[in-house]
Amino acid sequence: MATDKSAHIDLADLEQTMAFGYHIGTVAQAGDVILLTGDLGAGKTTLTQAIGRGLQVAASCYITSPTFSLLHEYPGRIPLYHMDLYRLAGEEEIEELGFEEYIYGQGLTVIEWPERLGELTPRNYLEIQLISPTPETRHVTLSAHGNMCCRLKDFLEYDSLQRSTT
């Protein structure tokens, strides 16, 4: 699957991760899909919490990784559908969930461990890969696929961070 456009951001600390995630939440549109990749502890759930704040999900809704279900749904400016596929047994399980109704629906879908999607990976999505060179810092690569590539700049347009686009 070809990457159409990518960019890098270096986040110095948790505060910068939260600012980046908040910004994503402010520019996300209904039907957007964000795939979060990176090792355990890289910050995928933390970034999702910040995205939720940017989507105006109430602070009383604490965003945690869905452990016993594949999906949590949070009301915000648009709904946030948060999936964690770490424990996924097979693609049938995602289909049973009504996966396509979510990703082509009225909210923002954020998916941890999207590698498990296999053939269900949508055509249009933004991948955000998180790497932690140190416990505090994060190196972020954004890769826009399909019609998300014309929106990549929106996800990068905010202050106070180092970034480079290719």
Q: Which does 54 bind (CB under 5 to 8 A by kind): ligand ADP, Mg ion, none?
A: none
Q: Which does 124 bind (CB under 5 to 8 A by kind): Mg ion, ligand ADP, none?
A: none
Among 17, 28, 44, 94, binds Mg ion (CB under 5 A): 44
Out of 40, 68, 96, 160, which residue is the one contacting ligand ADP (CB under 6 A)?
40
3-state secondary structure at position 50: helix
Torsion region of 65: left, alpha or beta (phi above 0 gives left; psi -120 to 50 gives alpha): beta
Which of 25, 43, 52, 122 forms a contact with ligand ADP (CB under 6 A)? 43
* Cβ(22)–Cβ(51) below 8 Å: yes
Give me the least distance between CB of 47 and Mg ion, in Å please.
9
- Smaller CB distance to ligand ADP: residue 55 or 85? 85
What gap in Å lies between CA 112 and CA 127, rounded to an integer? 10
The CB-based long-range contact list for 92-96 (8 Å cut-off, 24+ gap) reads 94/70, 94/120, 95/120
Q: Which is nearer to ligand ADP, 43 or 114 (CB)?
A: 43
Q: Interacting stretch for Mg ion, rule CB under 5 A, among 1-9, 73-81, 102-110, 112-120?
A: 112-120
Q: How far apart are CA 90 and CA 85, in angstroms?
A: 10
Task: Provide the edge-to-edge strand list for the sheet that holds 80-84.
Answer: 71-74, 80-84, 108-112, 33-37, 125-131, 138-145, 5-11, 162-165
**Residue the block writes with tokens 């049938």:** 92
Provide the minimum distance between the beta carbon of 138 and ligand ADP in the complex, in angstroms, as a whole number. Answer: 4
Give the nearest distance from C-beta 110 to ligand ADP in angstroms. Answer: 11
Q: Does 148 contact ligand ADP by CB under 6 A?
A: no
Residues binding ligand ADP: number (CB under 6 A): 16
The residues of the shown chain that bind Mg ion, judged by CB under 5 A, are 44-45, 65, 112
